């Protein structure tokens, strides 16, 4: 059984910062790409940032410069440092990981989601 557990969401004023964390645990053979998606009310889920197992990163244009994704491979954990937050960053943030479990095939896993609310 593999699970992703997120933490770090909350309410912050515009211009503030938050740091999200997501730890993968369970019967894991290897963790490949990890990333963060978000879904605002009434909108589709969108990619915010991703990071490969070799730490190559990719960002949505809307968050470049302001957000930074990183990972700790020893802890199977991915982080998202969010700075200069704007009200339009509000949404539920979901962690994603491409994991090969000890038994079975490589699979996409999702966290439960953490709410980020940025007030103006």
Question: What is the arithmetic mean of pLDDT over 33-37?
Answer: 98
Distances (CA, A) of 92 to 46, 78, 100, 102: 11, 17, 26, 30
Q: Give the per-residue pLDDT at 104.
A: 87
Strand partners, 37: 47, 94
Q: What is the full DSSP assignment across 1-27?
A: -EEEEEE--EEEETT--EEEEEEEEES
Q: What is the pLDDT of residues 16-28, one digit of tens each?
A: 999 999 999 999 9
**Per-chain mean pLDDT for the chain:** 97
């Amino acid at each position: 059984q593999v699970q992703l557990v997120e933490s770090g969401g909350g309410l912050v004023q515009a211009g503030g910062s938050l740091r999200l964390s997501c730890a993968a645990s369970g019967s894991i053979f290897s963790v490949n790409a990890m990333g963060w998606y978000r879904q605002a009310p009434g909108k589709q889920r969108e990619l915010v940032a991703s990071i490969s197992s070799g730490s190559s990163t990719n960002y949505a244009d809307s968050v470049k410069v302001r957000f930074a994704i990183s990972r700790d491979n020893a802890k199977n954990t991915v982080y998202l440092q969010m700075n200069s937050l704007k009200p339009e960053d509000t949404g539920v943030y979901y962690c994603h990981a491409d994991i090969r479990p000890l038994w079975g095939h490589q699979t996409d896993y999702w966290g439960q989601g953490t709410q980020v609310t940025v007030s103006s």
